[in-house]
Amino acid sequence: MNPVRYIITRPCLQEGSLRLVKYLQPTFPDSGPAQFVDDRGTEHTVQIDRAQGRVWGLGKLFHDLNLGVNDVLTITPLAPGRFQVEATVKPHAAPPPPARTAPKAPEPRRVVVSATPHVREVRLEHPRPEGQETTSAQPGATVRPTSAAESPAPAATAPAPLGPGQAAAPLQPVPAETAAQAPRSRTGARPEVNLSRPAPSSVEGQLAEFARLTGYRLDFPAPGIARLRADLGAHGYTVHVALDEAATRSPAWGQGAEHTALVTGEGERPQGLPRLTREALGALIEHARLAPLSPIDLRGYWKAGNLDLETAASVSELVGAHLAQRGAFSFVLLTLAGCPAHSVVSSARLAEKLGSGVNTAELSSILDTLTRAPFLALTPLPGGQFLLRADVRDLLTELAEYAEGVRRRVRTPDAAPETARGNGSLAITA
């Protein structure tokens, strides 16, 4: 059985456990005790509990390997009840240098020159730095009628006009409190900048976005019923999504669909009906924007019949695994970029440079990928060595040009001269 990757979450660290998410269940088919062997050869006895969907007893392993949130555990079955585990610790970025802040200029003081029951004359005095003589500030021209009981406004007084040879006072920086309050919405909340695609406002719009990102075909066969079709030939299936409970009593509800779900809120639990919560739908859209999700990945969740935020968290772990693999690939490329073109690199030396960021199995797989088209970045040599065929920057430039050339030649399905669809495949003839 192939190794599987598990991204560690904060509840995992707190409980010393792993959650048996959908893709992990085939790796742990039976409940009972098991042995985890870490990359140092230390054995850890754990307890697999299929009923609760957990693997317990991993607290010491997490502590020994110094694992944290978002670190990756690669689990490889060795024999029934025995597993090899390798840890991939997420590299931490160096802290940014402390920001250099200009010394705060002393604030001017308001000094009352003279006062009568109707007129008060004030001036601004700018304190001098220590070691300099203090000269009298110029009397201000801010003279206004006021009552004796009225106190002067603390912040809106204009500075006094400058006298001959008098330097202008330095500009005061805007205080952080003022900047934080600067534009606010009518409700008083601070606006948040969202650089992602705006979420659709209706459930129908969310379903359309979800279908676009994950590869379903969406239509509405009856009022209040959305149909998601996975046109994958023998692997295809259909889901009926009821937009309200009344639609579940429609004659079209469930006809010709392998799976059904009622759209509800996260706190609603309709009796006897599978559900898709609005909150989970929004989370699934965000996950699909981060990494590719397909109907094949999601079929097990439709079958389980309860797509809520807990299900979305499970999908998040799957997406996190995809992103971790992409990050490992980038890490290897960036390390190779430090080697000169036409030089011989050793996999053992690369492993030393990469440290715990990429494990041995991942490194071997990535190097093998880089030896094949379209990369052709490495030529394998005996003894675990490779010839770096060109500078990594040049290789990536050529790869980008190749990809752009293919993209320009790709035609949309509507523009293709001849298309044939059958058994989930698409044949295009030029």
Shared domain for 24 and 70, answered yes or no, is: yes
pLDDT at 146 over 80: no
Looking at the structure, do residues 312 and 344 belong to the same domain, yes or no?
no
Q: Is the confidence at residue 130, as pLDDT, over 70?
A: no
Residues of the chain with pLDDT > 90, as a percent, come to: 36
Pick the more confident residue, 64 or 89. Answer: 64
pLDDT at 386: 95
pLDDT at 3: 82
Max CA-CA distance within the chain?
99
Q: What is the mean pLDDT of residues 390-408?
A: 92
Residue 426 in domain: no
1: which 2 tokens? 């059985």
DSSP H helix total and E strand total for the chain? 10, 21
CATH number at residue 377: 1.10.10
Q: How many domains does the chain have?
A: 3
Same structural domain, 288 and 345: no
Domain span at residue 36?
4-88
Residue 262, token pair as written in the block? 């009622």
Task: Say if residue 98's pLDDT is above 70.
Answer: no
Residues 15, 64: contact at Cβ < 8 Å? no
235 & 310 share domain: yes
Q: Which of 403, 361, 406, 369 is nearest to 4 (CA)?
A: 361
- pLDDT confidence tier of residue 122, bands split at 50, 70 and 90: low
- Tell me the average pLDDT of the chain: 76
Query: Does residue 186 belong to any structural domain of this protein?
Result: no
Same-domain pairing of 362 and 309: no
Confirm whether 37 is domain-assigned. Answer: yes
Examine the domain organization and report whether 312 and 211 are in the same domain.
Answer: yes
Place of tokens 């110029």: 138
Q: Where are the alpha helices (DSSP H) in 190-346?
A: 203-214, 278-290, 295-304, 309-336
Mean pLDDT of 230-255: 93
Segment (H or E) for 220: strand 217-222
Per-residue pLDDT, 262: 95
Residue reference for tokens 């490992």: 328
Q: What is the pLDDT of residue 367?
A: 94
Does residue 301 sit in the same domain as residue 213?
yes
Q: What is the pLDDT of residue 1?
A: 66
Instruction: Please report which confidence band the pLDDT of residue 260 belongs to, taking 50, 70 and 90 as the band edges.
Output: very high
What integer pLDDT is reported at residue 399 of this predicted model? 92
pLDDT at 74: 87
| 27-31, 48-52, 207-211, 285-289: range with highest mean pLDDT | 207-211
Q: Minimum mean pLDDT among 37-51, 76-90, 177-191, 374-388: which range?
A: 177-191
Q: Can you give the C-alpha Rg of the chain in angstroms?
A: 33
Is a pLDDT exceeding 90 seen at residue 208?
yes
**pLDDT number for residue 305:** 85
Q: pLDDT: is 249 or 426 the higher one?
A: 249
> In sequence order, what E strands does 97-195 have?
109-115, 119-125, 143-145
Where does a domain end: 285, 320, 355?
Answer: 320
Question: Within a domain: residue 166?
Answer: no
Residue 51 pLDDT: 86
Mean pLDDT computed over 55-76: 86
What was the pLDDT predicted at 68? 83
Mark whether 208 and 306 lie in a shared domain.
yes
Which of 65, 88, 111 finishes a domain?
A: 88
Query: Among candidates 87, 95, 75, 67, which has minimal Cα distance to 35?
Result: 75
66 and 12 both lie in a single domain: yes
Give the residue-averaged pLDDT of 17-22.
86
> Are 210 and 281 members of one domain?
yes
Residues 210 and 316 in one domain: yes
Query: Per residue in 100-120, pLDDT tens?
Result: 555 556 666 655 555 555 455
pLDDT of residue 361: 85
Same domain membership, residue 310 and residue 344: no
CATH number at residue 75: 2.40.330.10
Confidence label for 45 from pLDDT (cuts 50, 70 and 90): very high
Greatest mean pLDDT range, 58-72, 107-121, 211-225, 414-428: 211-225
- Within a domain: 316: yes
At residue 269, the pLDDT reads 87
Q: What pLDDT does 64 receive?
A: 84
pLDDT for 328 beyond 60: yes
pLDDT at 372: 93
Give the list of residues 6+ apart from residue 85 with CB closer than 8 angstroms, or none. 36, 37, 38, 39, 61, 73, 74, 75, 76
User: pTM for the whole thing?
Assistant: 0.48
Quick one: pLDDT band at residue 125, thresholds 50, 70, 90? low
Boundary residue ending a domain (320, 351, 375): 320
DSSP string, 183-212: S--TTSPPP----SPPPPSSHHHHHHHHHH
Highest mean pLDDT among 15-29, 127-141, 192-206: 15-29
